[in-house]
């Protein structure tokens, strides 16, 4: 086991944030989740990322307050949406422990995170990623509970929003640094955050275009997380919340997604824009239009029509765009990567049927689509738990926008933005997610989408008095 330089920096940040309180700790934690290619601690071939290490500081700082600990437990207790997420976790850990042995030899898998097999097909059985994926999913649920507890106060709720906006800025900065260091031949400057034992793809390109990876191992991971912040900041802009900040952040994130050369980004970005347009339309129908809502409703159709006409009538532009889309999407299935991902999904689907719909266990096999990851790992019971969580967390009643006060409207708009951010991450996961775990950003935004801060400031104050 070795503590890396980025790990020392993570510990230093945690110690500095301790006297500042759990809200400052949460903002730092959210920002650290951007370091997807970094390992704070290396344990053999396994990585402990900075955010996972920092979660220890965040949990200690938050749950040491009795009111926060009670709120965290309440967030994963019935009838809260987090209860179904907790059931998803418990069932997942049980399958990781027993399913690989129960179904040993009954089907063939593409193992996840098992370097000794080098990605080859092997009979199902226990592997190291059964443990690591259980740890990751447990950390995700802890993240959800802690964020939920902090979000019960108005200041905590605002801290989560601040953290998400800071994360978006950091994600953009790392993407730009990736482009600049690649163009100048100074990629070594980012090696300290590219020290994980994953296979890194930061030097790849498509034609003359650099594949943007930012602080992530590959372009699809960068595009996937950028889809989430696009949905979040784009919705805030549509609702007229901090438009001078959220608008530019959403636009820059969209541009980076489109030029990242990630098929995940290119396929999902139009769907995210459709989600934003439907959100604006829904606000207009319910007489909750801001000037930004009106702007997107009025200008989007003519801009789309005008841009389509320019592309279709200009042979040079059409040729460049068609070649780009053909390489990354239309011809993707014929590439080595596309065929490999297709084979993962084919084996995953077979695993689902070979185990009578129960799955091969959390962390056992690798896929390239989130629904298949859930079905092939956790089977129908796991899928039911996850769907119940989605319905309870992001249902229509939680998306309503009250009109009786400015504070409640702002909170409702923010919850809607977090919901759209989660949906955007799920859309990206439909294309390329290799595992059941969706990352800390999903759990942070899911907790924010479920938060009701307008009811709990008194509770938070009472908790501080008891400290």
Q: 461 vs 152, 250, 298, 307, 456, CA distance in Å?
A: 11, 35, 45, 53, 9
Measured CA angle at 268 (ends 301, 163), to 5 deg: 100
First to last CA, the chain: 37
Backbone angles phi, psi at 209, to 5 degrees: -100, 130
pLDDT per residue of the chain (467 residues) written in tens, 0 to 9 = 788 999 999 999 999 999 999 999 999 999 999 999 999 998 877 789 999 999 999 999 999 999 999 999 999 999 899 999 999 999 999 999 999 999 988 888 888 764 455 557 888 888 888 998 999 999 999 999 999 999 999 999 999 999 999 999 999 999 999 999 998 989 888 998 998 887 787 788 777 788 899 999 988 899 999 999 999 999 999 888 898 999 999 999 999 999 888 888 888 898 999 899 888 888 877 766 666 666 666 666 666 666 666 655 566 555 656 565 656 555 655 666 667 778 888 889 999 999 999 999 999 998 888 999 999 999 999 999 999 999 999 875 454 555 555 667 788 899 999 999 999 999 999 888 888 989 999 999 999 999 887 544 434 433 333 33
Rounded distance between C-alpha atoms, residue 168 and residue 227, angstroms: 11
Choose among 439, 415, 417: nearest CA to 428. Answer: 439
Assigned token pair, 103: 């179904």
Please give the model's pTM, rounded to 2 decimal places. Answer: 0.88
Neighbours of 200 (CB within 10 A): 16
Q: 422 vs 118, 352, 360, 441, 455, CA distance in Å?
A: 33, 26, 26, 8, 24
Choose among 431, 221, 224: nearest CA to 342. Answer: 431
Contacts of 39 (CB under 8 A, 6+ apart): 4, 6, 7, 47, 48, 49, 195, 196, 197
Contacts of 158 (CB under 8 A, 6+ apart): none
86 within 8 A of 144, measured Cβ to Cβ: no
Rounded distance between C-alpha atoms, residue 327 and residue 334, angstroms: 10
> What is the Cα 236 distance to its own chain's centre?
18
Rounded distance between C-alpha atoms, residue 370 and residue 55, angstroms: 25
Assigned token pair, 51: 């955010």
Neighbours of 281 (CB within 10 A): 14
Backbone angles phi, psi at 27, to 5 degrees: -60, -45
Contacts 24+ apart (CB under 8 A), 380-387: 381/91, 382/88, 382/91, 382/92, 382/95, 382/436, 385/84, 385/85, 385/87, 385/88, 385/91, 386/84, 386/88
Neighbours of 37 (CB within 10 A): 25
């Amino acid at each position: 086991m070795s503590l890396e330089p980025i790990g020392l920096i993570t510990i230093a940040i945690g110690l500095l944030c301790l006297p500042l309180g759990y809200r400052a700790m949460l903002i730092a934690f959210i920002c650290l989740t951007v370091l997807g290619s970094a390992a704070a601690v290396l344990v053999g071939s396994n990585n402990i990322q900075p955010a996972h290490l920092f979660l220890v500081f965040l949990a200690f700082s938050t749950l040491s307050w009795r009111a926060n600990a009670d709120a965290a437990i309440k967030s994963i207790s019935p009838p809260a949406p987090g209860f179904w997420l907790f059931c998803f976790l418990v069932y997942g850990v049980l399958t990781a422990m027993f399913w690989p042995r129960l179904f040993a030899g009954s089907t063939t898998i593409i193992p996840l995170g098992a370097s000794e097999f080098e990605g080859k097909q092997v009979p199902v059985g226990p592997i190291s990623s059964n443990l690591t994926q259980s740890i990751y999913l447990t950390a995700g649920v802890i993240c959800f509970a802690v964020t939920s507890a902090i979000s019960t106060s108005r200041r905590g709720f605002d801290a989560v929003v601040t953290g998400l906006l800071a994360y978006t800025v950091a994600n953009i900065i790392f993407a730009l640094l990736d482009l600049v260091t690649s163009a100048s031949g100074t990629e070594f400057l980012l090696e300290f955050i590219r020290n994980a034992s994953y296979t890194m793809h930061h030097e790849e390109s498509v034609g003359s275009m650099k594949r943007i990876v930012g602080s992530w191992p590959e372009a699809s991971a960068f595009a996937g997380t950028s889809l989430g912040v696009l949905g979040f900041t784009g919705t805030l802009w549509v609702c007229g919340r901090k438009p001078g900040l959220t608008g530019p952040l959403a636009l820059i994130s969209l541009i980076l997604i489109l030029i990242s050369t990630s098929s995940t980004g290119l396929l999902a970005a139009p769907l995210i824009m459709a989600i934003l347009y439907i959100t604006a339309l829904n606000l207009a129908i319910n007489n909750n239009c801001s000037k930004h809502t009106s702007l997107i409703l009025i200008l989007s159709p003519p801009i789309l029509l005008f841009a389509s006409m320019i592309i279709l009538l200009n042979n040079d532009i059409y040729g460049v765009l068609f070649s780009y889309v053909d390489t990354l999407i239309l011809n993707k299935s014929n590439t080595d990567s596309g065929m490999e991902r297709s084979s993962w999904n084919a084996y995953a689907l077979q695993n689902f049927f070979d185990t009578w719909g129960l799955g091969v266990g959390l962390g056992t096999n690798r896929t390239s689509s989130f629904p298949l990851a859930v079905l092939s790992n956790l089977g129908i019971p796991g899928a039911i738990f996850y769907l119940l969580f989605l319905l309870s967390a992001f249902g229509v009643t939680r998306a309503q926008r009250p009109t009786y006060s400015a504070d409640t409207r702002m909170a409702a708009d923010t919850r809607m933005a977090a919901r759209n951010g989660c949906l955007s991450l799920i859309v990206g996961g439909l294309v390329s997610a290799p595992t059941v775990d969706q990352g800390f950003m999903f759990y942070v935004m899911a907790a924010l989408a479920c938060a009701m801060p307008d009811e709990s400031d008194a509770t938070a104050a009472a908790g501080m008095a008891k400290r």
